[in-house]
Structure 1
Amino acid sequence: MSPRSRMGELEQAVLEALWDLDAGSGERSGASGREVHERLSGRDLAYTTVMTVLDRLVAKDVVVRERDGRAYRYAPRQSRAAMTAGLMHEALGETGSDRDQALVSFVGEASAEDLAALRRALADLA
């Protein structure tokens, strides 16, 4: 079972905030607990709750923590795309002999944009 499939809704929200903050951080890697808390300001969460969730994500090896002066900076261990790909591989692995049918079903329900992205990806691999 992948780390992301073991995460609760709040853990997922904190991870999403880290991805968003990391994407706009420029040179700096990761985000402080305060920055994550501010990013989640619309959720009315206590700062200590955000810090507890960050600690849980570190324990689950989903997030890395580095000392930055007297505080810590947190960063996702994997990109959003890498973690999503891992979930897709995990789900396909659980289908057993129905793997082909699962792929056909997935593609059958994909949007035009998703199909175009799949075509580009397959063309790049060829």
Structure 2
Amino acid sequence: MRLGNLERSVMEALWNHPEGMFAQDLADGLASRPAVTTVLTVLVRLSRKGLVSRERQGRAHLYRAGADRDTFVAETMRAALDEAGDVEAAVSRFVGTVSPEVAAALREALDGRDEAAR
């Protein structure tokens, strides 16, 4: 799932504040200094995408990330592969671009998956 720049900034802020944030605090903390109404619009969109949850606290809502950053990245990677015309080619090209550390992490994850399947 692709995020726009402001959506990404809001998610980064929420991931960095797992206790949650109010829309005003989000707007005040973002480098682009958007209006609170703009942040609220983005939060509604992110909520519809299942990325943000909200809880009423007094007259305002406290917003939290619906999933952690690693889960989001994994879902995004899976969705990208679902869109590939040739999954094998896409994976091969991806693996050709990763660092040795990422390649080792991929090997370890696949080995763990194979062991769990036995």
Shorter-chain TM-score tier: 0.7 to 0.9
Percent sequence identity is 42
For 1:62 and 1:78, locate their aligned partners in 2 and report how far apart those are by CA, in whole Å.
6
- The CA RMSD over aligned residues, in Å, is 1.9
Q: For 1:37, give the aligned amino acid.
A: A
1:84 aligned residue: 73
Corresponding residue to 2:90 among 102, 119, 123: 102
Counterpart secondary structure, 1:78: coil
Aligned equivalents of 1:47, 1:100: Cα separation in 2: 44
- Where does residue 29 of structure 2 map in the other structure? 39
Question: What letter matches 1:66 in structure 2?
Answer: E
Separation in 1, partners of 2:78, 2:27: 32
SS in 2 for 1:35: helix
Residue 17 of structure 2 aligns with which residue? 21
| Matched AA of 1:111 | S
Structure 1 partner of 2:6: 10
C-alpha distance after superposition, 1:80-121 (max 9, x if no partner)? 11121112112212224x211211111111012211222332
CA offset digits 1:44-101 (Å, max 9, x no partner)? 32222222221222233321111122211111222211121112112212224x2112
Instruction: Work out the number of aligned pairs and report it.
Output: 114
Match of 2:101 among 110, 113, 117: 113
**Aligned residue identity for 2:82:** G
Structure 2 counterpart of 1:32, one-letter code? F
Q: Which runs of 5 or more residues in structure 2 are unaligned?
A: none
Aligned partner of 1:58 in structure 2 is: 47
Counterpart amino acid of residue 108 in structure 1: G
Superposed structure 1 runs of 4+ greater than 4 Å apart: none
Taking structure 1 as the reference length, what is the TM-score of the superposition?
0.76
